[in-house]
Structure 1
Amino acid sequence: MPQQVAVITGAGAGIGRATARTLARAGCDIALIGRNRDRLSDAAAELQALNVRTHIACADVSDAAALDTAAEEIENALGPITIWVNCAGAGVRGQLAEITPDEIRRATEVTYLGTVNGTRSALLRMRRRSYGTIVNLVALAGLRPPPLQSIENGARAAIRTFSESLRPELLHDGDRIHIALVHLPSINTPHFSWTRNHTGKRLKPMGPVYEPEIAAEAICRAAFGKYRDIWVGTSGVKSWVISTFLPGLSDRWLSKGGYAKQMEKVAVEGNEPDDLFGTVAGAYAAHGRFDMITRKGVPPLLTSRHAQVGTAIAAAGFALMLAVRCRRRG
């Protein structure tokens, strides 16, 4: 396509807002979808200096009809959609017994069904031209799912398997539409300030924390590099080893350390506002309040091509080891 038109859901703050800036710098015209019009307008104003066209569409991603309407508005305003990034999500933290059925349903609708609805809206338009890229976000591969996040972890796992099931459908129909998955560690966004919280303590990220611009860079590479998967950071390696070979030990550690590492010592005072059923007032940008503890270096971005090479090397090494053993026995 002569002009790239990128749609970002959840574009008013956090990873979505950082992704809008990154794709705009890459020369894309940007469509911003979210629930808070003021926040979307503020994000669009940041892009004016980059000389790209922008369009704002207020929509709740859990509403498939509203998302389809927004997609049609975007194509009428900017042209054919070529990139669609599903960044929208809503969370609820706490032990499952303390979370209400309505909260479970809403968090799943926004995070999982929001991604499904966004992917479907993108496909319906991209198939007119048999061209485009859809980027979905999942938790870092290899990480043992921590406690207190069962609803969000379930939604992100569902997004991964949904995306993987969709790929052969597109191959079967011969569409040149690419589905990319970006596997993310903890990212410093306002998400921790407006998640529905049943823990009684202020939330904080667990494990190595990176700035949203790192996630946005990975998303940009996934969009233009046609990668199947991109993994950000290396913290998943240790967790993968433990969860694979010592699962019982991992569960016992998470039952203790997994709680303390997600909560600050400061107690929550009263009912703090959250974005589960509505938007939070205030000017939120891409970053959260954890700039002081984020990793300042650029982490490695492991792509699916790197993983294929690593698997081939590991397989060759294993075959060589077996050959040496067989020769010794012979």
Structure 2
Amino acid sequence: MTQTVVITGASAGIGRATARLFGRRGANVVLLARGSAGLEAAAAEVERAGGTALALPTDVADHQAVSDAADRAEERFGAINVWINVAFTSVFAPFDEIRPEEFRRVTEVTYLGFVYGTMAALERMKPRNRGTIVQVGSALGARAIPLQSAYCGAKHAVNGFTESVRCELLHEGSEVRVTVVQMPAANTPQFSWVLSRLPRHPQPVPPIYQPEVCARAVAYAADHPRRKQYWVGASTAATILAQKAAAPLLDRYLARTGYDSQQTGDSVTPGRPNNLWHPVDGADGTDHGAHGEFDERSHSRSFQLWASQHTGTVCAVAGGLLAAGVSVAFARNRR
């Protein structure tokens, strides 16, 4: 059966890479984003890959627009099988330099956009008692960093409301599944168009991963949604575990390193376009694609991701190595 997959934030970055991947599977891919140039290019990539695309210009901060997009998706392709929430925006600045309307806008897109997408998906999936929702989260939803208070707050909120919804679905005995994929720093165009008040060009905190790594994790989660969360990248695993074990130490560490690690050595062009209120590709007609400016510094693979998807193999190998070590130690002790 051909899958119908809705992806928000599909015009660039992780959403764009995920759309291509599902296109290669031959899926019906419904693309939601604001920028027309990016949407059109993403749709063309899906079609070239072997899928069928439907591009719907949508601001996910508008609940009615998201609901209308879901209606159009089902009118065209039938029941939605997978809904993937990716869309976000951000402001890079100290908290006291972010204006109230900017903080609200980040929250409306990055948090409420996920809420509205989940509402639209559940409204259609629950009566059929089937379907999967994948929330593209972030390590920053477990451990916040300086200069991204609005984004980190929204990602924390996504985790909270998703846990609540998951409990309700379990209570109802529903077969609809909801899972979260916690992402590492990714090489996406956001660092070229995010609203920034930093003195130097913003960058993802290394190590940096290509969006295709993240897309493979999203697709795997859509296929195996029973797990509560997936972590992508060793840095994500280390961040989440360190937050659980030593949060006060992380506070002090990030206070010292969190400013420089989020900036390159290059100054920011005054008045550069940003996508907080309007899509950048709508202004100049440029398609920014899935990748950002950091290809040379980005990883195209993640052993941690592979290991998390092959726990049986990892445990078997670890067990074998442990048994071998015990045998060697026993033999030495008998000499």
Same topology, TM > 0.5: yes
More divergent stretch after superposition (240-249 vs 116-125): 240-249
Task: Establish whether residue 272 from structure 1 lines up as the match of residue 272 from structure 2.
Answer: yes
Q: State the alpha-carbon separation in 2 of the partners of residues 142 and 156 from structure 1.
A: 4
Aligned to 2:304: 300
Aligned to 1:84: 83
Which blocks of at least 5 consecutive residues in structure 2 are unaligned? 319-335
The C-alpha deviation readout for 1:180-219, integer Å capped at 9, x for no partner, is: 1001000100011111101121101103110000110000
Contact 1:9 1:33 in 2 (8 A): yes
Amino acid at match of 2:233: G
Aligned to 2:228: 228
Aligned to 1:124: 123
Aligned to 1:284: 288
Amino acid at match of 1:112: Y
Amino acid at match of 1:266: D
Aligned to 1:96: 95
The C-alpha deviation readout for 1:59-83, integer Å capped at 9, x for no partner, is: 1000000111111011111111000
Cα shift at 1:254: 1.0
Aligned to 1:147: 146
More divergent stretch after superposition (174-183 vs 242-251): 242-251
Cα shift at 1:142: 9.0
The 5 Å alignment of 1:29-40 reads 29-40=28-39
Q: Normalization by structure 1: what TM-score?
A: 0.88
Aligned to 2:217: 218
Contact 2:110 2:151 in 1 (8 A): yes
Cα shift at 1:129: 1.3
The 5 Å alignment of 1:110-259 reads 110-140=109-139, 144-226=143-225, 227-240=227-240, 242-259=242-259
Aligned to 1:262: 262
Task: Provide the secondary structure at the position in 2 that maps to 1:110.
Answer: helix
Distance 1:124 1:200, change over 3 A: same
Cα shift at 1:249: 3.1
Contact 1:137 1:156 in 2 (8 A): no
Distance 1:244 1:169, change over 3 A: closer
If each structure's helix is expressed as a fraction of its own residues, which one has the higher value? Answer: 2
Aligned to 1:71: 70
Q: Normalization by structure 2: what TM-score?
A: 0.87
CA RMSD of aligned residues (A): 2.2
Which blocks of at least 5 consecutive residues in structure 1 are unaligned? 314-330
The C-alpha deviation readout for 1:35-92, integer Å capped at 9, x for no partner, is: 1122211111112223322111111000000111111011111111000000100001
Aligned to 2:321: none
Cα shift at 1:240: 4.6
Contact 1:179 1:228 in 2 (8 A): yes
Cα shift at 1:33: 0.6
* Aligned sequence identity (%): 39
Contact 2:31 2:55 in 1 (8 A): yes
Aligned to 1:324: none
Amino acid at match of 1:156: K
Aligned to 2:60: 61
Amino acid at match of 1:176: E
Cα shift at 1:245: 4.4
Cα shift at 1:141: 7.5
The C-alpha deviation readout for 1:239-298, integer Å capped at 9, x for no partner, is: 455444443332222112111000112111211111100000321100001001012433
Task: Provide the secondary structure at the position in 2 that maps to 1:230.
Answer: strand
The C-alpha deviation readout for 1:125-174, integer Å capped at 9, x for no partner, is: 11231110000011127963211011111101110111111012112223
The C-alpha deviation readout for 1:81-119, integer Å capped at 9, x for no partner, is: 000000100001110000000000000000000000001
Task: Provide the secondary structure at the position in 1 that maps to 2:299.
Answer: coil
Q: State the alpha-carbon separation in 2 of the partners of residues 191 and 18 from structure 1.
A: 14
Contact 2:145 2:258 in 1 (8 A): yes
Q: State the alpha-carbon separation in 1 of the partners of residues 100 and 152 from structure 2.
A: 16
Q: State the alpha-carbon separation in 2 of the partners of residues 238 and 220 from structure 1.
A: 23
